[in-house]
Amino acid sequence: MSAIHIQKTQAWLETFVIGLNLCPFARKPYTLGRIHFEVCLETELEPILEQAYAAAAKLVEGQEAHTDTALLIVPNGLAGFSDYLDALEILDTLVAEAGWEGILQVASFHPAYEFADSEPNDPANYTNRSPYPMFHFLLEEQVSQAVNTYPDTLEIPDRNVALMRKLGQAGIDKLWKGIG
């Protein structure tokens, strides 16, 4: 069961994140096999947060050899976007309490992702929509190295929004069908 969730997440990465170049930093760790994929099959908040914390700790402590970043995929829990945001807020607090500020970032992806200033049907939301709720753990040192090698990183979000709006819902749906 977990393998299916990882395969679908990898297809999403290949099609959206890398294929559309939504994140110009994703291709290298993905092609080098330096992304750790982990599935959390829990449905309740507390065990989800426990597994998320453990996944983050492994990355921070270097327990995952040859890993630059990690994705915790949560296919059975946090289906509601507001529940997901509540969990993300708690996770951010746990990261701070662990002393990992400046060391670890948590990026967020969810099937119903909606930016605060957008409408639910705005194609721009697909810059952060994923097949399943997931937490993306990034080491800030890796982020800094990537950002230093890429010009105009501040333009990435605006470029992504424009791309998604240009694709429109029909174009996005076509790509989405391709990931299964």
Domain boundaries, the chain: 2-177
Give the pLDDT of residue 150: 74
Distance of CA 3 to the CA centre of its chain: 18
Q: Are 157 and 31 in contact (CB under 8 A)?
A: no
Alpha helices in the chain (DSSP H): 2-12, 27-31, 45-60, 81-97, 140-148, 156-177
- Among residues 34, 25, 21, which one has the least CA distance to residue 150? 25
Q: What backbone torsions phi and psi does residue 78 show, to the nearest 5 degrees?
A: 60, 35
- Per-residue pLDDT, 165: 97
pLDDT at position 88 is 98
Contact 1/29 with Cβ under 8 angstroms? Answer: no
State how far the Cα of 64 lies from the Cα of 79, in Å rounded to an integer.
28
**Per-residue confidence in pLDDT tens, the chain, 180 aa:** 599 999 999 999 999 999 999 999 999 999 999 999 999 999 999 999 999 999 999 999 987 778 889 999 999 999 999 999 999 999 999 999 999 999 999 999 999 999 998 999 999 999 999 999 999 999 988 777 766 777 788 899 999 999 999 999 999 999 999 997
Residue bearing tokens 């976007």:
81
What's the Rg (C-alpha) of the chain? 16
Is-contact 123 164, C-beta < 8 A? yes
Residue-level pLDDT at 1:
57
Distance, CA of 94 to CA of 71 (rounded, Å): 17
Q: Token pair for residue 48?
A: 């989800």
